[in-house]
Every structure is written in structure tokens, then in C-alpha cells.
Amino acid sequence: MTKFLLLYTAPAETRQRMQQATPEEMKEGMQPWMDWFQRVGANMVDKGMPLAHAMTVTQDGVQPGNPEYVGYNVVQAENIDEAIAYAKDNPHMKREGGAVEVHEMMEMPGM
């Protein structure tokens, strides 16, 4: 099995609505995620976290990062097509402007 990073993006308006949700709305919004975690089952490696306050660090300094990255998960799958299927079934896809980037996580030699 190969690990894949599912990286969630959303436009600023969607991100702001998510951040302004009431505790009740947040709790209600988590149920589709819990259902999805169950469907992915043992192939869920890391349930991830929401992301915020992005900064990009380069040799030239530090600057604001890409604020459209709003969360991530790590799943394992037989191939990228299976990982894409997990992404398509993900609750984030129901958010306005929501998208999921799927990145294969390469093995590090000697690790």
C-alpha cells in the first residue's frame, strides 16, 4: 500500500464561513467526516487537521503562504486511482469551491 496526502483547498469566502460557524454548526458539520472516516476504515493513516495562518519560508525570507490550503488527511491505497476515489467521496467536495489535491507520498530510501 502507498500513502497519499489529500490536501484540501477552498476559496476565502468558504474558509471564512467555516471559521465563523457556531459550535452547533461545527458539530453538525463533523458528522459527514466521521461517516467518511468509517468508509475509508483502516486505510485512514492520519485524520488530519484544519490548516490556518500559512507562511512560506524561503532562502530569501518569510512571506504569507497559500491561504487556500485548509486541511489535510493521509490515506493509504493500492494506487492513485483508489486515492482519488477517496477524495471524490470526501465531504470537502460538497463545500462551495472545495477541491482536493492528491499527492503520492514517496518512500525515503534508508528510512
Report domain extents, the chain: 2-104
Q: What is the pLDDT of residue 23?
A: 86
**Cβ atoms of residues 77 and 102 within 8 Å:** no
Q: Enter the pTM of the model.
A: 0.86
Under 8 Å between Cβ of 9 and 71 = no
CATH architecture of structural domain 2-104: 2-Layer Sandwich (3.30)
> Please, which pLDDT band fits residue 109 given cuts at 50, 70 and 90?
confident
Average pLDDT over residues 97-109: 92
pLDDT digits (tens, 9 = 90+) for 40-80: 999 999 999 988 889 999 999 999 988 889 999 999 999 99
Q: Label residue 7 by pLDDT band (50, 70, 90).
A: very high
Q: What are the backbone dihedrals phi and psi of residue 78, each rounded to the nearest 5 degrees, phi first?
A: -65, -35
Separation CA 82–CA 84 (nearest Å): 5
Residue 28 has pLDDT above 90, yes or no: no
With cell 486541511, the residue in question is 71
